[in-house]
Structure 1
Amino acid sequence: MAENRLPIRSVFAPVRALFVSDASAGVLLILVAAAAMLAANSPLASEYHALFYDKFSWYPHAKLSNFHYLINDGLMAIFFFVVGLEVKREVICGQLATPAQRRLPILAAVAGMLVPAAVYMLVIGGDPALTRGWAIPAATDIAFAMGVLGLLGSRVPASLRLFLLTVAIVDDIGAVMVIAIFYSEIGPQEMQWLIASIVVVGIMMAMNRLHVSRILPYILVAIVLWYCVLNSGVHATIAGVVAALTIPMHRKDGNSLLEKIEHSLAPWSAYAIVPIFGFANAGVNLSGIGMSKMIDPLPLAVAAGLVIGKQVGIFTCIVAAAKTGFAKPPKGASWAEIWGISVLCGIGFTMSLFIGELAFQGPGATATLLRDEAKIGILAGSIISAVLGYIVLRLTTEHPDDRSAEPDPA
């Protein structure tokens, strides 16, 4: 009986893994991306496009004129709000709370953004029409990557899971800064709204200092902040991050207001907002895109940045930090396992799609083609990174039950 239990467990382990928390959000994203591609290339393609891009009969703002805008500028602000809450908690009392804890994740995340950007620029060959997409392969999708780890069960050392999570969090901070700095358009009129946004942020900071502990005042002022940022030329989602940083972390009755809000919103973000965003943005109609377009510089550059740039940048950074004594590698992990985690960091689904939409904005056919090509590169690069990372970790890690089932060498 003991001999038969191991292969049965091996057969059903991947199925069980689909339903654990680490994997479910990532698997949901995979299914959503597949559904979007099917919808965009089916007889329902026109309905799929109309659902997200047809203008409302009435809308309060030009940037909220259809479901696509509403999702990317509205719902995603809540996603970025959750990201901001998570970042603040980790920096204050989590895995980024001390300089020693921050050292390697920050270094790895920076290298994991710069090298993919360099690979992207190298592949496009300096084409000025494509340079705005340099940041597309610089982001790592936390849910997708952690989902792949979830499929591996307890094979992967806890230190590597923690390392991937902290790198992805720092990566998110970098992506937010990139969006705010490089994908914002601020003119004289927008400057007035930006000043109003700063005033609103000051009000939220004062609420924190005065120990306002009820959630409703923060929500109301955060909505005002979002509307000001929406008109400021800075992307509206940045309001979510900034608002999150003003939520108080001081504890009352065991839990802080920040932690209560995060625990309430995190499931909605992971299982509703991000999948809706994925379904609205991952669909690419391939009917007008032949094989020649599939290997154009843009999709190749994005895919190469994710698959090659991410793993080279992060793995080389960890090796260099270990050799120089600047930072220690994740405890209890082999170099092959660290390489596997570096490969998984090339999964850039959510944030990469978001940056791709910002990089090639516009209603024209050229802008639409560029966005579609970027999506092809993102999907291809993310899938290759997920599969390759899974294979490397599957072959180089060992399940605890497998080890216990081995005969005693004595």
Structure 2
Amino acid sequence: MCAARRERSVFLALLPWPERVRVARALRTETVGGLVLLAAAVVALVWANTPWSGAYEQLRDAHFGIAALGLDLSVGHWTADGLLTVFFLVAGIELKRELVVGELRTPATAALPVVAALCGMAVPAGVYLATVGLGGGSTEGWAVPMATDIAFALAVLAVLSTHLPSALRAFLLTLAVVDDLGAILVIAVFFTSDLNPAALAGAVAGLAVFHLLQRFRVRGWWWYVPLGLVIWALMYNGGVHATVAGVAMGLILRTTPHEGEDASPGERTEHLLRPVSAGVAVPLFALFAAGVSVSGDALGAVFTQPEPLGVVLGLVLGKTVGIFAGTYLAARFTRARLNPDLAWADVFALAVLAGIGFTVALLIGELAFTDPAAAEHIKAAVLIGSLTAATVAALLIKRRNGVYRRLVEAENRDEDADGIPDVYQRAVLGDDGA
């Protein structure tokens, strides 16, 4: 019991073996997806700045769908409201798992990542508001620099060939999960228009049926897929951003297996949809959202107009200060002891890396700025801010990569070749691994 209390009091300590296996599996998929996302963003930028940019705009703005159901949308709109629903469904499942069996299940373990994430959302918003307040700009984009893009961040780590310890990667993942919840709450509360009570009531009724199917252990995709599509369409027509439907269904899915089940419905759904989310949905959204004209005027506007400048400063400075200060203060308040193998410089580097706010930042930017010219400037600001954060984080992380390599080698050493690292076997025998 004393050993357990001491282990919980260590911030960024060695993860329990089952948790490490789960995190490694999730981050492996997100890393591959992040590389695809990075490639899609590069293709979009190149395509939008070539003589064939007109074809890009025509494809992005081409409409299709069922007009009678209010679903005649452009390709870009379908990727933002349709495909990103899969991304938020996976995020909802991950959040539910964290709340039930993960880092967020108890106040003691949840305090650090939740405080860090909340500060990492509040401070960037404050930086944006201060910037536009001084420059006389619009406050509409306050939520743009709030979210961290875990896939893009992991892609940066993969490109750098870093050896970030699993505890740091897990902390980054938890930050992103809480960030995603904050982002969807912001979208649901602040970016709704022309509410249709009847359609919303239908969506709520559909979610109630979804919950009953879970409660009575009904299995079979033929129940859930049509119902999910109906809930999504009703949510969209109800005036609430359709991605809210994805998070709601993710939170309803059960994440603990019942007796006789190999895996819970949430685990099975996440296993099926995470590759689709990371490898298809998010990259396609990036392909049609990141096509920004990189002209001298556009780049100049990023640093001369208060709204895009606020986004850049929010991502680069606000995220770093918010997450690092929130983590440091929460650790002191909870009397948590930093893993002696790491330093606060490592937390600072992670805070800088969290300034990569690509996918959700682009989505909120599109919702906040309806004027095409203003939206283009915000997109450019998101790209520049994320690129700046990635570059600074890369320098900080590479500087410590020798330390990380030694820690990862120790974490993975398996001299008896039984598939379980030796450090976990020592922990079972009474050594806490420190």
Q: TM-score range by the shorter chain?
A: 0.7 to 0.9
Give 1:217's match in structure 2, choosing from 215, 218, 223.
Answer: 223
CA displacement 1:233-257 (0-9 Å, x = unmatched): 1101111111122223342432112
Q: What's 2:247 paired with?
A: 241
Q: Paired residue for 1:101, among 105, 109, 112?
A: 109
The one-letter code matched in structure 2 to 1:29 is L
Match of 1:68 in 2: 76
Match of 2:182, SS state, is helix
**TM-score relative to the length of structure 2:** 0.82
Task: Provide closer, same or farther for how the CA distance between residues 294 and 73 of structure 1 changes in structure 2, counting only shifts above 3 A.
Answer: same
Question: Whole-Å Cα distance in 2 between the matches of residues 76 and 64 of structure 1?
Answer: 17
- What is aligned with 2:329? 320
State which of 299, 308, 332 in structure 1 corresponds to 2:317.
308
Query: Is structure 2 residue 341 aligned with structure 1 residue 336?
Result: no
More displaced stretch, 257-266 vs 26-35:
26-35
Query: Of residues 391, 395, 416 in structure 2, which corresponds to 1:391?
Result: 395
Q: How high is the sequence identity, in percent, across the aligned residues?
A: 37
Give the structure 1 partner of residue 179 of structure 2: 171
Root-mean-square deviation (Å):
2.4
8 Å contact kept, 1:160–1:333:
no
Please state how far the C-alpha of 1:100 moved relative to its aligned partner.
2.1
Q: Deviations over 1:28-78 (max 9, x none)?
A: 222211111111111110000000113349745545322112111111111
Aligned residues, how many? 379
Counterpart CA distance in 2 for 1:288 and 1:54 is: 28
Letter in 2 for 1:392: L
Aligned to 2:140, the other structure's residue is in SS state helix
Runs of 5+ consecutive residues of structure 2 not aligned to the other structure: 1-27, 410-434
* Structure 1 gap segments, 5+ residues each: 1-19, 362-366, 405-410
CA, structure 1 residues 208+126, in 2 after alignment: closer, same or farther (shift >3 Å)? farther
Give 1:27's match in structure 2, choosing from 21, 35, 59. Answer: 35
- For residue 205 of structure 1, report the CA deviation from its aligned partner: 1.4
1:259 & 1:70 partners in 2: Cα distance?
26
Question: Do the aligned residues in 1 keep the contact of 2:120 with 2:323 (CA within 8 Å)?
Answer: yes
Distance 2:405 2:351 in 1: 25
Q: Which residue of 1 aligns with 2:431?
A: none
Alignment of 1:150-165 (within 5 A): 150-153=158-161, 155-165=163-173
- Greater CA deviation, 247-256 or 161-170? 247-256
Distance 1:332 1:68, change over 3 A: same
- Alignment of structure 1 residues 322-401 onto 2, 5 Å: 322-325=331-334, 327-329=336-338, 332-361=341-370, 367-399=371-403
**CA deviation vs aligned residue, 1:196-216 (integer Å, no higher than 9, x gap):** 211111111122222213232
- Quote how far apart the aligned CAs of 1:152 are: 4.9
Does the 8 Å CA contact 2:137/2:306 hold for their aligned counterparts? no
2:58 to 44, 50, 70: 50
Range with greater deviation from structure 2 (71-80 or 349-358): 71-80
Of residues 78, 99, 107, the one that matches 2:86 is 78
Structure 1 pair 197–292 and aligned structure 2 pair: CA distance change class (3 A): same
Describe the SS at the equivalent of 1:213: coil
Whether the 8 Å CA contact 1:215–1:257 is kept in 2: the answer is no
TM-score of the aligned structures, taking structure 1 as reference length? 0.86
Helix, strand or coil at the partner of 1:65: strand
Counterpart selection for 1:193 from 190, 199, 209: 199
Match of 2:208 in 1: 202
Q: Give secondary structure in 2 for the equivalent of 1:125.
A: helix
